[in-house]
Every structure is written in C-alpha cells, then in structure tokens.
Amino acid sequence: MTMDEGTAYGLAPATSDRELTEVGAGTPMGELLRRYWHPIGLAADAGSVPRPVRVLGEDLILFRDGQGRPGLVHPRCAHRGASLYYGRVEQEGIRCCYHGWMFAVDGRCLDQPCEPEGGQLKDNVRQPWYPLEERYDLVFAYLGPPDRKPLLPRIDVLDELGPGETLEADDSSLGGGGPPIIPCNWLQHFENVVDSFHVPILHGVFSGHQFVPAMAQMPQVEWSVTERGVRVESWRTLDDGRRLRRVTEAALPTLRVVPSPRLGRSGVVESIGWVLPIDDRHFRIYVAGRVEQPGDIGRMRSKMNGKFWWELSEAEHRQFPGDYEAQVSQGAITAHSAEHLRTSDRGVALLRRLLREQLRRVAAGDDPACVVRGDGDATLHFANCGNFITAPA
C-alpha cells in the first residue's frame, strides 16, 4: 500500500446480507424462522387486556379468554378493520369495539350482534390467528405454514429441576446488555453467542471487570457444528491451576445456550435464551432459567463498571461499552460487505453457513434441522453445555 491508499474518500456503499437478516413473511430467513416456535410473551402477558406484540415484522394482538386459553390474532377486525387492540376480552374470546363481532382464540367468529340471529353467516368468517402453546412460563407462537407445524421442543436443562429450584422466565433481554427492546438486527446478537473472542476484550477490558477474573483471559477456542447449531468450547486456566472448560451453543432457530460468565463454578447451563426478531431492525430476548429464589433470574443481568445499563450517563456508555453498545453500533442491520472475517470469527462463519444450509432446505420444500412432528421426541439436550472445572492438566 502506498501512503495515501485506503482513505475513506469514495468508499463504495456497503450492503447487508438480506438473505440472512430479513425476517418478514416471504423472505428466505422469514420463512425459515416461521418453521419454528418462538416465545412472544411471558405467560402473564396473555391476559384480559389485549396486548399488542410485534413478531417477525407482524403486528398482532395477544390475549387470554375467560376460560384461560391464550389467543394471538391479527389486529384488523375481519368485519371492517377496527383494531382488536380496543377489543374486550370475554369468556369465549375477544369482541371488537366497533360492531361487536366476537372471535375465539382460533379466529372463529362466534357472534355478530348487529346481524339477525347473531349472524347466520358468521361461520364463513375467520379472524386471522396463530397457534400458541405455553411452556416454561412463556407463550410460544407458530407463525408458519399449518401443515409444517413442528412440536414445541422440550429442553432438558429446564425440565430437570434440582432440589429447591424453580423455573423463572424473563422478558427484559437478559444477555443483551441494554434495554428490553434492542434496536438492531437479531443476527448481530445471535452471532455474538459464538463470538468467544469478544469476551476478553469487550467484557474483560472495556466494560470494566464484568465477570469472574478468568473470563478476561484470552481463551483457547474450538468450534464445531452440531445437528442443531454451532457449539463453542473455550478453555481458560483458573488462578489455582485448574482448567475452566466453558461450553456454549447457538442452536436453531435462535436459542442462546450460554452458561453464566459470573459464577465461575462448575455446572450445567442454568438458563436458555430465545432471540426474538421483532422486525428487521429490532430484537428482544426471552429467557427461562432455573433459580433458587423467585426474582433470582435478574442476577444474570450484566453491569458495566458496576452499574446497570440504564444508570450510565452517555459519557459512561462511551467509556464502559457492553454488548448493547458493540452490537447496536454495528448498525441497525450491519454492513456485511464491509466486514473482514478472520480466524477468530470462525464461529460466526459456521453459524452463517448453517443458517444458509437451512434456507436451502426450506427453499427445496424440506424441513429445516430440528423440526420434529407427530409423536417424535422433540427434546433438546443441552446438559453438555455449561462451565466445567477440571484438575490441572
């Protein structure tokens, strides 16, 4: 390079990888994500007050009818389009505020009070809806083709509670390093799960002593592709000479299987996170985890320089950046054409390759990985992920 090469003058406009990032209906990734269940709220979010939710670029209304059944419907009433946001939840479903049409959780129209006999043709109308299932104190939705609907997977580490442990769910984007709704593309965060080398730099130096001291070491890292994701094994040496083997996984479609970076004790991963793409430029994280006391799940929240994200001034955000600052500053959708991936980005490259492979399977009419239907066993086994401490080599 000559001395005056490489200036920013005339920089070509950078582009994003739309195939991997866009989540709307009809886009390749949007269709792949629509082949899996996603958490769209805490169980308590489905209640007698209609709640607007945005998922994969779709605006929807979540509620729970008087019989306890959760429902997820399109907001625009099938009659003449008033929003069910203003609807009233009743024993049998949700009733539109405008002319009183009433819809069950599966969209069937049950009443048209302005019509003779409550609507003789009401069976011809169906409010667009999506199936829901509740598990781990979360409400999961399936937004894909009905004939491709998989079983909602069980997760071994959430099913096997230890003595005195209970399960707790959280919707505050634990692990995101910022507020509950994070203004950038979901993949920037999902890739971070397999980006082991940001830990000693971002968290070990810049964020200000965030985790246990060993996490600040430059780890030895090995990545591998499993049948359902990308697995990372990172090795560090503790002060007493023992070895810390940390096993993390990014699993399809958006699961973050990340052992606590704080405890520094041996043990299987205690929480699972789901990265929910709200739309192309926003995501949030739902977490379910095993806890000893209700409210304990909040102890997984990161601090920067000893403070929570929302306690930091702008100057402190600049001085002690965390995951939020790093990932949001990559851009609302990062410019992939301007990246320079290197050996330490191998996990990111493997994850992109795995996702592209699933896009091809869906485009070819096949199921993507980890889809189980019928009476198959849909349990995901993550008991081999965690922090494991071994004797000195």
Q: Establish if 86 lies at the interface with ligand FES (CB under 6 A).
A: no
CB of 177 to Fe ion, least distance (A): 7
Q: State which of positions 92-131 bind ligand FES (CB under 6 A).
A: 96, 98-101
Q: State which of positions 22-51 bind ligand FES (CB under 6 A).
A: none
CB of 60 to ligand FES, least distance (A): 16
Smaller CB separation from ligand FES, 114 or 383: 114
Check: CB of residue 191 under 8 Å from CB of residue 333: no
Q: Long-range contact list for 14-18, CB < 8 A, 24+ apart?
A: 14/335, 14/336, 14/337, 14/338, 15/335, 15/336, 15/337, 16/185, 16/331, 16/333, 16/334, 16/335, 16/336, 16/337, 17/336, 17/352
Q: Establish if 82 lies at the interface with ligand FES (CB under 6 A).
A: yes
Q: Establish if 191 lies at the interface with Fe ion (CB under 5 A).
A: no
Instruction: Work out the number of other CB atoms within 10 angstroms of the CB of residue 92.
Output: 17
Q: Establish if 80 lies at the interface with ligand FES (CB under 6 A).
A: yes
Smaller CB separation from ligand FES, 98 or 206: 98
Q: Establish if 325 lies at the interface with Fe ion (CB under 5 A).
A: no
CB of 227 to ligand FES, least distance (A): 46
Near Fe ion by CB under 5 A: residue from 58, 191, 233, 323: 323
Whether omega before 253 lies within 30 degrees of 0, making that bond cis, reads: yes
Distances (CA, A) of 299 to 24, 173, 210: 34, 13, 13
x/- mask, Fe ion, residues 54-73, rule CB under 5 A, reads --------------------
Q: Establish if 77 lies at the interface with ligand FES (CB under 6 A).
A: yes
Region class of 375: left (phi > 0), else alpha (psi between -120 and 50), else beta: alpha
Check: CB of residue 56 under 8 Å from CB of residue 279: yes
CB of 128 to ligand FES, least distance (A): 13
d(CA 393, CA 374) in angstroms, rounded, equals: 47
Q: Alpha helices of 76-185 — where are they, by DSSP H?
A: 156-159
Q: Establish if 356 lies at the interface with ligand FES (CB under 6 A).
A: no
Unique residue bearing structure tokens 């993507």: 368
Options 76-84, 130-138, 160-168, 253-261: segment touching ligand FES (CB under 6 A): 76-84
User: What residues are paired with 141 via a beta bridge?
Assistant: 38, 132
Chain residues binding Fe ion by CB under 5 A are 323
Chain residues binding ligand FES by CB under 6 A are 77, 79-82, 96, 98-101
